[in-house]
């Protein structure tokens, strides 16, 4: 039997986070939050936005540590974040407005109202990734290696962001009476479900999945030789695969096609794209050149693997000079080509060191 919605006989809702935690053990479901933010003077701080700030901060810290482990310039992470975060937010909002136009607030500022939710993850990742690739290559570093470094960090940020969905009472699934069911206030229930009080907490399922997948990517990078772009491709695959399940149980507003939610098809396509991307990256004849940009390790050299030099600037790392190994590779003027010209022994040593650096980047 579902818990009552409201009215006489219903336990009074706690009026604070402490109160909710204190009384949660008396309930057989996760209570809905009584607040969605707090005031600091005249400003109202939404928990939804605050969780994104916390998530982004953690992603920057994690990525700096992983990029530094490769020998890269940790300050490059700040440069990427300054550009990729705002562009990612814009991309996420555009994707949400296009795919769910019916939930846009009916005001001139409605298309910008990110404080009410409405951020599409695929639009955010696409816009943020393109911006990040531009900044990384402009610094003369390998976009593929940077992508591997940031992949687990993005999942941690997304997991923290799901807590914001809880406070907005969104991202939930079909009605259920499971002990971990999520109570949703009447005002936030979709039409047709007003008689139900508790629902599948899909925000919580995604939070757990994101953290588990992040831990797996770190473990895999430590125990296997994953080539540039490999971990990022697995991030795309793993997250999208989960979304196939999530979209099959969600009941909130969405555009539908042939009876299925639009994002169900997007998730399916992105899962296949991610798998193909990973296979292609791993089948590369050798790792992409491992330049980590000028200034790494206190000099203009590329890093401990010795790929690149002070003269290897953005021109050698840009799309026009990428070799067959992928967008993270350098052109014929790279250190790998120089090693090959020195003889087969030198070329073999360079590839071996490249493999070691890729392995070290994910420890």
pLDDT digits (tens, 9 = 90+) for 191-240: 889 999 999 999 999 999 999 999 999 999 999 999 999 999 999 999 99
For residue 195, the SS3 value is coil
Task: Please check whether residue 234 is in contact with residue 215, taking contact to mean a CB–CB distance below 8 angstroms.
Answer: no
- For 182, the domain range is 1-363
Which DSSP helix (H) or strand (E) runs through 216?
A: helix 202-223
Is pLDDT of 241 > 50? yes
Is pLDDT of 275 > 60? yes
- Predicted pLDDT of residue 307: 36
- Predicted pLDDT of residue 259: 86
Who wins on pLDDT, 332 or 120? 120
Task: Please check whether residue 189 is in contact with residue 268, taking contact to mean a CB–CB distance below 8 angstroms.
Answer: no
Of 94, 99, 118, nearest in space to 168 by CA: 118
Can you spell out the DSSP letters for 270-335? HHHHHHHHHHHHHTSSSPPP--B-TTGGGSSS--TT--S-TT--HHHHSGGG--TT-TT---TTSH
Who wins on pLDDT, 351 or 230? 230
* Average pLDDT of span 168-190: 92
Helix axes 121-138, 143-167, angle to 10 degrees: 150
Who wins on pLDDT, 221 or 252? 221
Q: How many C-beta atoms lie closer than 10 Å to residue 102's C-beta?
A: 7
Who wins on pLDDT, 291 or 275? 275
Who wins on pLDDT, 242 or 288? 242
Burial 161-192 (b: 16+ CB within 10 A, else e): bbbbbbbbbbbbbebbeeeebbbbeeeebeee
Task: Please check whether residue 258 is in contact with residue 233, taking contact to mean a CB–CB distance below 8 angstroms.
Answer: no
* Average pLDDT of span 243-271: 90
* Average pLDDT of span 301-307: 37
**Total domains present in the chain:** 1
pTM: 0.72
Range from 25-34, 106-115, 183-192 carrying the lowest mean pLDDT: 106-115
Q: How sure is the predictor about 27, in pLDDT bands with cuts at 50, 70 and 90?
A: low
Task: Please check whether residue 172 is in contact with residue 191, taking contact to mean a CB–CB distance below 8 angstroms.
Answer: no
Q: How sure is the predictor about 42, in pLDDT bands with cuts at 50, 70 and 90?
A: very high
* CA distance linking residue 315 with residue 56, whole number of Å: 30
Who wins on pLDDT, 252 or 179? 179
Is pLDDT of 356 > 70? no
């Amino acid at each position: 039997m579902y818990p009552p919605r409201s009215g006489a006989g219903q336990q009074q809702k706690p009026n604070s986070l402490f109160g909710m935690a204190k009384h949660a053990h008396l309930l057989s479901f996760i209570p809905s939050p009584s607040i969605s933010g707090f005031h600091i003077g005249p400003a109202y701080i939404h928990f939804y936005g605050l969780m994104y700030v916390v998530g982004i901060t953690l992603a920057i810290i994690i990525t700096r540590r992983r990029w530094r482990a490769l020998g890269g310039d940790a300050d490059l992470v700040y440069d990427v974040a300054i550009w990729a975060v705002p562009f990612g937010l814009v991309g996420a909002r555009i994707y949400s407005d296009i795919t769910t136009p019916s939930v846009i607030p009916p005001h001139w500022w409605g298309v910008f109202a990110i404080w009410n939710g409405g951020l599409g993850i695929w639009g955010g990742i696409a816009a943020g990734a393109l911006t990040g690739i531009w900044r990384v290559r402009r610094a003369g570093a390998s976009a593929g290696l940077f992508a591997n470094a940031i992949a687990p960090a993005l999942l941690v940020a997304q997991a923290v962001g799901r807590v914001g969905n809880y406070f907005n009472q969104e991202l939930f699934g079909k009605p259920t009476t499971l002990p971990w069911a999520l109570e949703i206030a009447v005002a936030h229930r979709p039409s047709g479900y007003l008689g139900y009080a508790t629902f599948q907490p899909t925000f919580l399922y995604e939070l757990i999945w994101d953290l588990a997948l992040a831990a797996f990517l770190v473990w895999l990078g430590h125990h296997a030789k994953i080539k540039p772009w490999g971990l990022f491709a697995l991030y795309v695959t793993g997250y999208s695969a989960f979304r196939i399940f999530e979209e099959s149980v969600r009941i909130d507003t969405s555009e539908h096609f042939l009876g299925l939610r639009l994002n169900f098809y997007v998730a399916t396509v992105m899962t296949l794209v991610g798998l193909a991307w990973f296979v292609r990256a791993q089948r590369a004849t050798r790792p992409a050149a491992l330049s980590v940009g000028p200034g790494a390790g206190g000099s203009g050299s590329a890093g401990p693997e010795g790929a690149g030099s002070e003269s290897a600037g953005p021109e050698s790392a840009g799309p026009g000079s990428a070799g067959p190994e992928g967008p993270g590779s350098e052109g014929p003027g790279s250190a790998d080509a120089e090693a090959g010209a020195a003889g087969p022994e030198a070329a073999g040593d360079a590839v071996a060191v490249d493999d070691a650096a890729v392995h070290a980047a994910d420890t």
